[in-house]
Structure 1
């Protein structure tokens, strides 16, 4: 009898094991189907994860529970339609639309470090995706593990440490935008606890930083940070923001003048400040300091502006390039030689004229596309595949700061 009971127990365990395996297999099949629907939806509504999110989070295979995180309302609607159409049984999918409740009603944050690092994941060890400057408002989308997922003024989505940003409700953001501010126009500087360069420093400052301004005395401006620290800055380092904004003129001469002030800066992957720049961070900064917000990465920048013809039979035609290019046009490169015009863009530069260009490659430097030029050397390692003109081009991707909601109120005269 005991042996018979052991046989029954063994059979029951086998059946239980088969049931568990069947459940896991069923869950995995459902997961694979949902994963494919996620890919379809992302391809349609969020093809570039740098600017739009549609993510599947696999939470519980046994109970068939899944979570979608997205910034796109229409993507969620489309995905639900696909679920119904494909009749995936028992799948319980929750769609978490960003911004979500984790940001507690704070629609924006103001960066409170001279240069804050944006990362691809909410971790200090994660890859540096980009940077954002002091005084820049960012959309708060989600809080997780001591990080905010944010959207920058140019639409770039990444993770920013909560210690780098001061959250703002809508009324608080309006007060920030309405406040009198200054922008740092010098390369580097410092803020002090007193109107005295011998007093304790509050922080470093870099070109493009924005702070609330107060009284001026003895060659200093009293300023306030987004996190409400108070400090004093030398007058020659800054300019009233509204005055600067009204005077910026994005001509080729001005853009290249700004670019040349960054000569010799070190290359930094993800860098967008005078502490270090990557190739597209360099072009972005040159245009920003002349009043224009452009896309973040080279592969995004090549999609904007007016096409400048520099190719013949899919190959760079030097004579044509010299004839058609104008100063401050953007040049786009692929790595290696012999690449076609549809190759992946990996590098960008600003055209100076006479075959020369300025770019961030090791350092910010000037090279030439002309084989007999002494500074031709770097050109040999790349293939020039495209050129774009931004100046004077009506393009949604090229946004004047004076009309951007991150820097001015809709009722401002500057936005009319």
Structure 2
């Protein structure tokens, strides 16, 4: 078995081994993974955090040993906590990193990938936070443009948004909305929900295709065109600008 880690800020994860292929996810700095297959240019990988699979180009990650991989897996996550920040190498080269990037082996403003030492003096997020912090983190992404497969403040999709908000608070969600809907406790009514709970929405075929984070006062924050706040009722999401419901409510889940 081979292992790898992302050593660049934001790297696309492709559906197929081609730069022209659909981006289904992104790999952020410090995210680690197992390598399932590899050829001259591309590797099929499985991310450690959520088991999501896809293809990454060989020039956009470094291989690591099984020992380093296991140490990262067993270590507590330390994440960058600013919309954008940077780390510097010992040669003073800068690498820009987004909110939620992993900082492996972080200690005393330093982190390490293989034998490379990096300096980071920005704000960090570590450990599990109280549930009320979920809303605070969610508002950090407000007005982020929608991007299929995205999970940064420069472009994000609905499930990437919920996953990253929960990750910054120290909780694991799977990557796609239909996967996230399998987690947590089912709530019977909107009235039972609390800020930070998740609402899921389905299409005409009954497939769950959308997710958002419930706020106070029957509101929801979600990624649709951009990360926005709309009204949530028993039918679904009501967009006041369009004066119509845009998503049909399927289920409400409490994760924490």
Local SS of the residue matching 2:245: helix
The match for 1:238 among 117, 124, 127 is 124
CA gap of 1:365–1:120, structure 2 versus 1, over 3 A, is same
Q: Distance in 1 between matches of 2:248 and 2:76?
A: 46
Question: Equivalent residue for 2:146?
Answer: 267
5 Å-filtered alignment, 1:181-192, equals 182-192=78-88
Query: What do you get for the CA RMSD once the two structures are aligned?
Result: 2.8
Question: Equivalent residue for 1:140?
Answer: 35
Local SS of the residue matching 1:381: strand
Unpaired runs of at least 5, structure 1? 1-104, 311-320, 392-416
Q: Distance in 2 between matches of 1:180 and 1:296?
A: 20
Segment of structure 1 superposing worse, 177-186 or 357-366: 177-186
Greater percentage in strand = 2
Segment of structure 1 superposing worse, 263-272 or 204-213: 204-213
Question: Equivalent residue for 1:208?
Answer: 100
Greater percentage in helix = 1
Q: Is the 8 A contact 1:116 1:131 kept in 2?
A: yes
Measure how far apart 1:120 and its partner are.
0.7
Measure how far apart 1:228 and its partner are.
4.5
Question: Equivalent residue for 2:129?
Answer: 249
The match for 1:380 among 214, 226, 245 is 245
Question: Equivalent residue for 2:193?
Answer: 325
Question: Equivalent residue for 1:347?
Answer: 210
Q: Is the 8 A contact 2:79 2:168 kept in 1?
A: no
Q: Distance in 1 between matches of 2:142 and 2:107?
A: 34
Measure how far apart 1:293 and its partner are.
1.2
Local SS of the residue matching 1:296: coil
Unpaired runs of at least 5, structure 2? none
Measure how far apart 1:191 and its partner are.
2.4
Q: Distance in 2 between matches of 1:382 and 1:184?
A: 32
Q: Distance in 2 between matches of 1:181 and 1:167?
A: 20
TM-score w.r.t. structure 2 length? 0.86
Q: Distance in 1 between matches of 2:227 and 2:22?
A: 22
Local SS of the residue matching 2:160: helix
Question: Equivalent residue for 1:292?
Answer: 171
TM-score w.r.t. structure 1 length? 0.55
Q: Distance in 2 between matches of 1:305 and 1:355?
A: 20
Q: Is the 8 A contact 1:122 1:144 kept in 2?
A: no
Q: Is the 8 A contact 2:35 2:46 kept in 1?
A: yes
CA gap of 1:332–1:168, structure 2 versus 1, over 3 A, is same
CA gap of 1:204–1:345, structure 2 versus 1, over 3 A, is same
Measure how far apart 1:377 and its partner are.
4.0
Q: Greater relative contact order: 1 or 2 (C-alpha under 8 angstroms, separation 6 or more)?
A: 2
Computing the radius of gyration from Cα coordinates, the structure with the larger value is 1
Q: Distance in 1 between matches of 2:104 and 2:81?
A: 15
CA gap of 1:210–1:375, structure 2 versus 1, over 3 A, is same
Q: Distance in 2 between matches of 1:180 and 1:353?
A: 31
CA gap of 1:181–1:358, structure 2 versus 1, over 3 A, is closer
The match for 1:128 among 23, 34, 38 is 23
Q: Distance in 1 between matches of 2:44 and 2:11?
A: 13
Segment of structure 1 superposing worse, 325-334 or 360-369: 325-334
Measure how far apart 1:304 and its partner are.
1.8
Measure how far apart 1:360 and its partner are.
0.7
Q: Distance in 2 between matches of 1:382 and 1:174?
A: 41
Local SS of the residue matching 1:211: coil
How many residues in Structure 1 have an aligned counterpart in Structure 2? 252
Question: Equivalent residue for 2:64?
Answer: 168
